[in-house]
Structure 1
């Protein structure tokens, strides 16, 4: 019995009853004396007996209850305030508890892992039925661990309610475990924590200015390290903006039109009356997203020109401040439309085959879809039908379009979309296949700005992967001397936080463990939907890892 149920080694089992669904054990203590709960004196004088019913961990998947015959002893110490006391069986009973410590530990583990509703369902399935409120109460009853001394500290924030409420998580980078959670992301809160916990030598953070100010105030001797992931992410954004601007203007499209060879005659040419003259780039009907973007750009720019503040514009147009900032900072509408008009779709890799079928006289979208499915196309016929809409002459029936009233599709090679071009520029050359390598070389030769952008991106990658942070100043100067506005903004941000950036590109520290902890914290927050108060969420984050 003690091998299977070690928490019952201090009792004697009188009998066991079972009804097929549950098991009941009747036990009594085997000790002859008991210690007083008031003074600790040992006593053997029994005053009375009574029974306690405790829920225990399940046995073979069945609910288990332990009925304990408890003795009440008389205390012989004249200095004790208690005249009688009840005995406590080690590892089995605790004062006023209705569960054994084994069951309590199991329920606490379930509560920390799954929280309320999900934890209650799992506990009931395992033979430990309880309510969700009980599990939440058990979490809140746990003591919060003390923050240990830490030398390398990771800091990051996560949203409780996006753009409204944020918390700050602190990570010991040596153990990758969270050591504390702060109720906001204000600089004063983190600075006060650093003052209360001296000894921090390195602070790993993102590019946010609040945490930089906190580290300077609360730990002035600590080394600040900007995370390499965020540095690379900021560079990717700058590269994407540059590619978008040059994609929309003449750099790539005009060069592509000049490089497009004359189409060779097909074995079965389509009559000239059927096909209209082939344009280099057929005009597409303006999409709803493009129309909305155009209207918002005009509305924001007109109100700013009239002297309204950005906050007033956001209130009048019912737009978020980030949306107003995006439209206000855009110099032209083209910068905003390029993302609307060049979204990535499942048809992008098969556009040349679609154009060839269209020019050969196959105008039914369903037939074209079936022709390209063996090539790997997994989209629906609606994607193909919407794409072909740009080649049909307006005025024809939408349900039964006239094959004769159509434009010719481009017969030359298609220009990759900006997102793909950005990916090629930001990828290591060894990670590109032969066709991608040839295509990106051809694109870079068409535009001198993109060629220089590719060189800057690869030199920054070499500095980052080789931890040559001392070279970042020279890189910033080369970028500032070049004509790439998006990279100028990125370089200005690097110069503003140059010391932390240099440390991030030189030292081995990074915020990878912090980002992983933030991901786990968000999962715990979603499990506590409706109950994610700060005290409950903080305990789950600190005790679950």
Structure 2
């Protein structure tokens, strides 16, 4: 047995030094490992003075990782030393075995590390179920306490972005380290004051990567005035794409090719005057039959009361039918074509239908911007009942504004032949879109080649494009945050990794099903790998 003990010590405590295994007892459910420390001295946790004077000893029973489906309990004899420093407030102290125990710990460090990993990955209830499967049953509250007691990593170069705690209602702020690509902290909101207070507590921050949101810019300026702010290039390109799409939509009439001029003038048909109610109307036939029946009975000598009794109609209705010389005189009231709030916008809807826009929601959004006070259902009914029956112009459907904007934003070498020919045809019909394409490609060259020093010249040129108001507004917004944008187009820093962490936050948030609070979410985001 004496020859086996060193092998047991190396097997059970390979990562822990200065531990001697005295015996191993195996029962049906538990493996008991009796061990002790063989160091001669220990350091006082209060003053740091080392002492070898033993005051006494006692047994500790920390649980260890299971073995072969059995619980493992370490029966560890620890000693209490007398502190040699007379001025120390602690007269005695208990030795701790590094890598095996900690003060007041009921588990070994490796078991604690495993439970922490389970808690970070699965949180409370799910983590407790997994720990039970692994042979180390603990409660969900124990896992949550282990997670919340972990220390937090220090920040270096943070990237700032927002995430949704509850979509469209509650937003928070996530900060990610540029160098380690790990999250630094989670803030409960996206207010400038919260970010400024967080940065003020960490004066060593020198670089802050962010998007161009005003609350992030204000918070970074007030909280860390010494730090260099860097605007993210992806958000700059995304904002330029939105401005380019608005410019293309403004010149959407140029997207359809001009129709060929006919060789001979076409004969126009004479307009026909339709009756107030068309023949196929659901009430027209019934009204005509009733009108003929009433006049036939009156011509046969029946009185109005007699006709009303025979037809089962009211006397006032019979009198109204008798006064009408033709059925068309009865086509009045709520079924007659009356003026509506949509009439003033029908020519525009007809023109847009001819341009190829067949989306009722899109048409409603367009006329709403022009002052239409009605709701979507009126436009939808007009499109379904009136415009659906009208033929559209013969020829290929014009490209959408989003498709043209995508062609402009794509590198010319990356476009296929079909898209390149379509873009060439669109630019040939619209010189304004040609100017837009030149500005977009110039900005793309600055982004890819990191030539931020050319930005002031580009802004001046873009603001001069009066026919492209969306591009001019984009350039004006860049001037408000000029230093950060120039730094973003010059330095290699960017916020791309933050978007991946935002997706990971969504996964962790959905795992907890809304039962846990912000503090647990914060710990899992910061420490879960």
Q: Is the 8 A contact 2:123 2:144 kept in 1?
A: yes
Give the one of 4, 26, 50 matched to 1:17. Answer: 26
- Which whole-Å CA distance do the structure 1 matches of 2:184 and 2:499 have between them? 15
Closer, same or farther: CA 54–459 of 1 in aligned 2, 3 Å: same
Structure 2 counterparts to residues 33-432 of structure 1, below 5 A: 42=52, 54-60=62-68, 62-66=69-73, 68=75, 70=77, 91-147=99-155, 150=156, 152-247=157-252, 250-253=253-256, 255=257, 257-258=259-260, 289=361, 293=365, 330-331=369-370, 412-432=395-415
- Match in the other structure for 2:439: 456
Post-superposition CA distance 1:339-392 (Å, at most 9, x none): x99xxxxxxxxxxxxxxxxxxxxxxxxxxxxxxxxxxxxxxxxxxxxxxx9999
1:440 matched to 2:423? The reply is: yes
Give the one of 509, 512, 519 matched to 1:535. Answer: 519
Closer, same or farther: CA 32–431 of 1 in aligned 2, 3 Å: closer
- Match in the other structure for 1:305: none
Q: How many residues are aligned here?
A: 422
Q: Is the 8 A contact 1:256 1:415 kept in 2?
A: no
Closer, same or farther: CA 57–449 of 1 in aligned 2, 3 Å: same
Question: What's the offset of the Cα at 1:424?
Answer: 1.0
Question: What's the offset of the Cα at 1:166?
Answer: 3.3
Q: Is the 8 A contact 1:202 1:223 kept in 2?
A: yes
Structure 2 counterparts to residues 435-514 of structure 1, below 5 A: 435-482=418-465, 483-514=467-498
Q: Is the 8 A contact 1:479 1:488 kept in 2?
A: yes
Q: Is the 8 A contact 1:171 1:177 kept in 2?
A: yes
Closer, same or farther: CA 45–454 of 1 in aligned 2, 3 Å: closer
- The SS at the match of 1:2 is helix
- Match in the other structure for 2:5: none
Question: What's the offset of the Cα at 1:38?
Answer: 9.6
Give the one of 12, 15, 23 matched to 1:5. Answer: 12
- Which whole-Å CA distance do the structure 1 matches of 2:262 and 2:237 have between them? 35
Post-superposition CA distance 1:202-238 (Å, at most 9, x none): 3322111223223333333433222111110100111
- Which whole-Å CA distance do the structure 2 matches of 1:442 and 1:234 have between them? 26
Gaps of 5+ in 1: 262-278, 299-329, 342-388, 395-406
Larger Rg computed on CA atoms: 2
Q: Is the 8 A contact 2:25 2:33 kept in 1?
A: yes
- Which whole-Å CA distance do the structure 1 matches of 2:56 and 2:220 have between them? 63
- The SS at the match of 2:484 is helix
Question: What's the offset of the Cα at 1:453?
Answer: 1.8
- Which whole-Å CA distance do the structure 1 matches of 2:66 and 2:104 have between them? 21
Post-superposition CA distance 1:32-88 (Å, at most 9, x none): 9897999986566878x76x654321335x243215265787979999999999876
Question: What's the offset of the Cα at 1:142?
Answer: 1.8
- Which whole-Å CA distance do the structure 2 matches of 1:260 and 1:186 have between them? 63
Closer, same or farther: CA 500–78 of 1 in aligned 2, 3 Å: closer
- Which whole-Å CA distance do the structure 1 matches of 2:456 and 2:39 have between them? 80
Question: What's the offset of the Cα at 1:479?
Answer: 2.2
Gaps of 5+ in 2: 1-7, 264-350
Q: Is the 8 A contact 1:257 1:280 kept in 2?
A: no
- Which whole-Å CA distance do the structure 2 matches of 1:280 and 1:290 have between them? 10
- Which whole-Å CA distance do the structure 2 matches of 1:74 and 1:226 have between them? 58
Q: Which moved more, 1:519-528 or 1:480-489?
A: 519-528
- Which whole-Å CA distance do the structure 1 matches of 2:491 and 2:79 have between them? 65
Post-superposition CA distance 1:442-464 (Å, at most 9, x none): 12212222222222211111122
Closer, same or farther: CA 26–409 of 1 in aligned 2, 3 Å: same
- Match in the other structure for 1:398: none
Q: Is the 8 A contact 1:424 1:440 kept in 2?
A: yes
- Which whole-Å CA distance do the structure 1 matches of 2:125 and 2:81 have between them? 45
- The SS at the match of 1:4 is helix
Q: Is the 8 A contact 2:356 2:397 kept in 1?
A: no
Post-superposition CA distance 1:263-285 (Å, at most 9, x none): xxxxxxxxxxxxxxxx9977999
